[in-house]
Amino acid sequence: MIPNQWYAILPSKSVGKNEIAAVRRLNLDLALFRNSSGEICCVVDQCPHRGAALSAGKIEGDYIRCPFHGLEFDKNGKCTFIPANGKASTADISRYNVRHYLVKELNGIIYLWYGDAEKAAEKLPFFYDQIDETYSYSEIEDHWNSHYSRCIENQLDVVHVPIVHYNTIGRGNKTLVNGPKVLYENGILQTSANNETDNGQKPKPPSECIIKDTNLNFIFPNIWLNHISSKIKVLIYFAPVDDENTILYIRFYCKLTKIKIINSLIAFTGKFANKIIERQDKRVVITQKPKASSFKSGEKLLMGDGPIIMYRKIRDELKNHQDNQQ
């Protein structure tokens, strides 16, 4: 994982009022809940007393209560009450505090700051310029037995489209891969497929290709957007579970009509098309070895792998930059 980043980890709707969501993300077992004002909170899902899962407990107002001996914790993981000590106790109980993580919400997504809390960036990664409230969306999720880096690379891979998706989005046997052109500007990695039918011509280098209106966009560490048209987009956030597992949350965004409910219906239908395509990818990506990709690997890459090389390079720089700072 790249440290000091906001990772999109879970849909907001997964954590209801008075509910505790037990999730594994970024190799951590976490308990997410809401305090009495609805604010999202996140603590490590292990009681410091004798190790019970806090997620099996209860929400009491602003606090999460352990199911075993009733210790209570606030949104900052601070232990606020130990029933066995009694209400009258004034003892210092700070050694019972549990680790907490910064979490925030935006557009129905919960983000977790993975790194030093004091370095937390103000702005959450999102496609602010491309998506607004005029769109309706529908979301599906799927678990892949893959490292999140492989899942992301798959969505930047223009070479696989006519092979893996030969009977869906890659119909037409456009196996010859021109470029593609790759840009990295203002924190967004962008590319687009320029594939053609192979009539014996030579593929064009990236310098002779353009970024088309239909393009792929990625913001580190884990959010991607396929700009299909000005009215249809597909967004994916790749929630890392651990080093071998990822949950993909795939949203179909639509504003084809002026009527919200119709847009919602189209988005609802569109997500099933996404599912067919996603399953075609998953079948192959889960077989990739090693599980995680890396910038310096023994893989023999092609010209068409330009977006993947760029992704690996930036990921490597972000990781090394962090290492150097520590």
- Residue 313 binds which entry of Fe ion, ligand FES, none, CB below 5-8 Å type-dependent: none
Three-state SS for 256-314 is: CCCCHHHHHHHHHHHHHHHHHHHHHHHHHHCCCCCCCCCCCCCCCCCHHHHHHHHHHHH
Q: How far is the CB of 232 from Fe ion (least distance, A)?
A: 17
Among 45, 72, 153, 281, binds Fe ion (CB under 5 A): 281
Residue number with CB closer to Fe ion (139 or 281): 281
What is the distance between the alpha carbons of residues 119 and 101, in angstroms, rounded to a whole number?
Answer: 13
For CA atoms 13, 14, 20, 24, the dihedral sign is: negative
- Closest CB 63 distance from Fe ion, rounded Å: 45
Q: Are 8 and 109 in contact (CB under 8 A)?
A: yes
For residue 237, report the phi and psi dihedrals to the nearest 5 degrees: -115, 135
- The nearer residue to ligand FES, 11 or 48, going by C-beta atoms, is 48
Complex with ligand FES: residue 55 or 246, whichever CB lies closer? 55
Sheet architecture: strand order including 72-73? 58-60, 63-65, 72-73, 79-81
Q: Select from 45, 48, 97 the least CA-distant residue to 74.
A: 97
Per-residue contact track with ligand FES, 34 to 73, x per CB under 6 A?
Answer: -------------x-xxxx-------------x-xxxx--
Min dist CB 81 to ligand FES, Å, is: 10
Q: Is 99 in the site for ligand FES (CB under 6 A)?
A: no
Interior CA angle at 303 toward 235 and 305, to 5°? 30
Site string for ligand FES, 145-184 (x = CB under 6 A): ----------------------------------------
Q: From the list Fe ion, ligand FES, none, which binds 184 (C-beta under 5 to 8 Å, kind-based)? A: none
Query: DSSP label at 264?
Result: H
Residue 50 near which of ligand FES, Fe ion, none (CB within 5-8 Å, type-dependent): ligand FES
Residues near Fe ion (CB under 5 A): 281
Residues near ligand FES (CB under 6 A): 47, 49-52, 66, 68-71
